[in-house]
Amino acid sequence: MKRLFHWLLDPHGRTARLALGEKAQSVDFVESPPWSPHAEVSKAGPGARGPMLIDTDGTAGRVVAVGTHAIVEHIEETVRDARLLPINALDRAEARRLWQWTEESMAEVTASLLAERVNQVIRRSRAPDSNALRTGAHALRGKLTVLNALAEHRPWIGGRSLSVADLSVAAHLSAFDYFGDVDWLSAPDLKTWYAKLKSRPAMRAVLADRLDGARPAAHYADLDF
């Protein structure tokens, strides 16, 4: 049995959950918020933070992998079914390029827009930082343009088949979409792609999560949005 330490709106945690879900892995979940990591995560090593995957068989939990790259590449290497990377070397490279691009370019949106939304829920009295919201919303618009251009010409973000690039994009956008921050009207081809993603069982499990004290946007979990 495996256990994942994650936080429900962390895009990296969602990436790991989607990957484990696509691979039909049996996993239980433990909450580890970024601002207050679970003690098990902190002791995994200098700089360690969630998502963290451990193996709970045996007497003590053994750390399997920490971070999206280690987790996804590990389950891709050890579980052959439901490939998250294409077989062909050039296609693999393209999927990994867009996975890395997504994580790097969405980090700014996570650190500003998403962090501010979460702050408002967790520390209710706090006045919203409109500068952070504006910075994040502006950055997100630019990324949606790039992603829509990809979705216009390809069935999946990384190419001809579903890959970790799709999971990474869905993980990030779904977290932002919880607060209604994704302007789907501005990205019609990406919207079509996202509807396809939303219907997958792994994604439906992620979309069932609810943050205490904050309902998601009305269309959040709808397949027709």
- Point out which residues bind its own copies (CB under 8 A): 45-48, 62-71, 73-74, 77-78, 89-90, 92-94, 96-101, 103-105, 107, 146-147, 149-150
Token pair for 184: 């789907």
Rank residues 74 and 200 by Cβ distance to its own copies and give the closer one: 74
Q: Which residues contact 195 (CB under 8 A, 6 or more apart)?
A: 223, 224, 225
115 vs 214 by CB, closer to its own copies: 115
Token pair recorded at residue 177: 């979409």
54 or 162: CB nearest its own copies: 54
Three-class DSSP category at 67: coil
Q: How far is the CB of 190 from its own copies (least distance, A)?
A: 12
CB of 148 to its own copies, least distance (A): 9
The least distance separating its own copies from the CB of residue 12, rounded to whole angstroms, comes to 9
> 94 or 120, CB closer to its own copies?
94
Residue 207 CB, shortest distance to its own copies, in Å, is: 26
Joined together, the tokens standing for residue 211 give: 């943050």
The residue among 77 and 224 lying less far from its own copies, judged by its C-beta, is 77
- Contacts (Cβ under 8 Å, ≥6 apart) of 63: 44, 52, 53, 54
- Minimum separation from the CB atom of position 199 to its own copies (A): 25
